[in-house]
Amino acid sequence: MRGPLPRTLRGQLTAGLVTLLALACLAVGVTTALALRGFLVGRLDDQLAASDGRFAASLEHEARPDADNRPDIRGQAESTFGARLLNGAVAQAAVVDGVTDRPLRLTPRDRRALAGIPVDGTGHSIRLSAPGAYRVTAVRGDDQDILVTGLPLHPVEETVHRLEAVEAVLFGAALVATGLAGALWVRISLRPLQNVTARAVEVAGLPLASGEVAMPGPLSDTDPRTEVGQVRTAFDHMLGHVEDALTRRQAGEERLRRFAADASHELRTPVANIRGHAELALRHHSSVPAEVRHALERIDGESRRMTRLVDDLLLLARLDAGRPLEHEPVDLTLLILDATDDARAAGPGHHWMLDLPEEPVTVTGDAHRLQQAIGNLLANARTHTPPGTDVTVTLTTGDGLVRVNVSDNGPGIPEEVQPEVFGRFVRADHARSRSAGSTGSTGLGLAIVHAVLTSHGGTAAVTSRPGHTVFRLALPG
């Protein structure tokens, strides 16, 4: 199972550096150990060639007048091995032990290993049960027998193992020191990139979606020839483009707000005049043809709707411009009671229910605007749900917030419309039923709710599914 990899670039670079060094140390260690072993084995082969098989040859004759019937061990190193093979079988085998020789008792496996040694005078490695690993050569004797002479490999292996232990300690210390130094070096090298990251986090925390935003200045200068310097340069250019785009957007929004405010203000007078003339004509006692009276009634109805639209646009323009609101204690409980009474009078076919705390709840704000926001929510529930729908207004407090929830069991809001339901001119009439004879909404009611709550430092949200829709308002307590 793979271990977890470092997540940060600094950790990955440090881990990569240490890994590469570890692989290099492993390669150096293996190479030096193999080279040393090859060198020492070569020295054994040279010693075997220089001995000329004297110890093995002394085993060829059991009786030598000049040597008291003993093998010739003169000049032989301790633990030198000798064996004599006749007709492919081991006849005698001994090893030099101190100043004499010691016969060996060989196992069948040892005898097969000795019989399998090529008779070519070159060195071969074998492992015997009793004496251990040996480097041996095999030559033919004078009587067509085979003489095997060997030197122990234990000193070679011991030396190689000692080298491996020394290398393990040195390479381990080098890896630890390199890891610490590499981490420090990578940290210093990536410090400009950390500055870029910090600046990106700072920009991400800015309210780029609304209002005029003061972008931070350019980052400190770094060498543009480096990758980090190129990232810094590209990031500064990107921030410049973002700042320019935000400035242009802010200027466009300001022009749009001024246009909406000016247009709304200018439209109020002619719309009022049209409405006044329509009402005057309808009050005339002379006989008016039915078609003309119907047209006058339509003019009067549409002028009233146009008046509401102009008033809503003018209110949104003032809220967008940051016009100061009143800051006075507002009895939210009484405000909800009044707004619900108005909704009950306008929509007697709905079931209006209240869930209010026993004690009055007071917030600081603009009473008229807050009443307009709650009234818009109730009007929204009344307009877009069929008669017989249950509408419940709940008021709660806690965690330093005052919460007003308006819920209904109507048809609900389509899921694709919910993210933009507080936008301007957004409607979901195709899913939420409209009352018969309704002239329809302006599409600005929920936008006004959101703008009023935002101006008071609160929030507005909605969750909806068929049979259950909840608008949630939260105000500072």
- Assign residue 440 the CATH number of its domain: 3.30.565.10
Among 323, 357, 391, the domain-final residue is 323
Residue 461 structural domain: 328-476
Q: What token pair was written down for 212?
A: 């005029």
* Per-residue confidence (pLDDT) for residue 212, from 0 to 100: 63
* Per-residue confidence (pLDDT) for residue 98, from 0 to 100: 64
Collapsed DSSP state (helix, strand, coil) of residue 473: strand
> Is residue 153 a contact partner of residue 132, using CB atoms and an 8 Å limit?
yes
Which CATH number is 128's domain given?
3.30.450
How many domains are contained in the chain?
3
Residue 173 belongs to some domain of the structure: no
Residue 199 belongs to some domain of the structure: yes
- 421, 376: one domain: yes
* Per-residue confidence (pLDDT) for residue 246, from 0 to 100: 77
> Is residue 422 a contact partner of residue 410, using CB atoms and an 8 Å limit?
no
Distance from C-alpha of 446 to C-alpha of 452, rounded to nearest angstrom: 10
> Is residue 47 a contact partner of residue 77, using CB atoms and an 8 Å limit?
yes
- 131, 151: one domain: yes
- 127, 203: one domain: no
Residue 433 belongs to some domain of the structure: yes
- 142, 197: one domain: no
How is residue 24 annotated by DSSP?
Answer: H
Distance from C-alpha of 69 to C-alpha of 62, rounded to nearest angstrom: 6
- 135, 231: one domain: no
* Per-residue confidence (pLDDT) for residue 64, from 0 to 100: 46
Distance from C-alpha of 382 to C-alpha of 388, rounded to nearest angstrom: 10
- 76, 128: one domain: yes
* Per-residue confidence (pLDDT) for residue 34, from 0 to 100: 93
- 225, 305: one domain: yes
Distance from C-alpha of 236 to C-alpha of 247, rounded to nearest angstrom: 16
Among 299, 323, 347, the domain-final residue is 323
Residue 140 belongs to some domain of the structure: yes
- 245, 313: one domain: yes
* Per-residue confidence (pLDDT) for residue 282, from 0 to 100: 75
Distance from C-alpha of 189 to C-alpha of 200, rounded to nearest angstrom: 19
Classify each residue of 220-236 as buried b or exposed e, where b means 16 or more C-beta atoms within 10 Å of its C-beta.
Answer: eebeeeeebbebbeebb
- 119, 245: one domain: no
Residue 184 belongs to some domain of the structure: no
Distance from C-alpha of 137 to C-alpha of 49, rounded to nearest angstrom: 8
pTM for this entry:
0.49
Distance from C-alpha of 125 to C-alpha of 134, rounded to nearest angstrom: 6
Residue 181 belongs to some domain of the structure: no
Among 275, 299, 323, the domain-final residue is 323
Report phi then psi at 355, rounded to 5.
-135, 90
Amino acid at 42: G
The C-alpha angle 24, 27, 32, rounded to 5 degrees, equals 125
For the CA atoms of the chain, what is the radius of gyration?
50
- 472, 337: one domain: yes
- 20, 150: one domain: yes
Residue 436 belongs to some domain of the structure: yes
Residue 95 belongs to some domain of the structure: yes
Per-residue pLDDT of the chain in tens (477 residues, 90 and over written 9): 455 666 777 788 888 888 899 999 999 999 999 999 999 999 988 888 877 667 777 776 543 444 445 555 666 777 888 888 888 888 888 888 765 567 778 888 988 888 889 988 888 999 888 778 899 998 887 777 888 888 998 889 999 999 999 999 999 999 999 889 988 888 887 777 777 777 777 777 777 766 566 677 676 666 677 777 777 778 778 877 877 877 777 777 677 667 666 666 667 677 777 777 777 777 776 666 777 777 877 887 787 777 777 777 777 777 766 667 788 998 999 999 999 999 999 889 999 999 998 888 899 988 888 988 899 899 989 988 999 999 999 999 888 899 999 999 989 888 888 888 887 776 655 444 444 334 455 667 888 888 888 888 899 999 999 999 999 999 987
Q: How far is CA 203 from CA 118, 210, 217, 252, in A?
A: 79, 14, 11, 22
Collapsed DSSP state (helix, strand, coil) of residue 249: helix
Q: What token pair was written down for 327?
A: 């800051």
- 250, 332: one domain: no
Amino acid at 253: E
β-partners of residue 100 are 97
Q: How far is CA 283 from CA 280, 287, 295, 304, in A?
A: 5, 11, 14, 17
Which CATH number is 200's domain given?
1.10.287.130
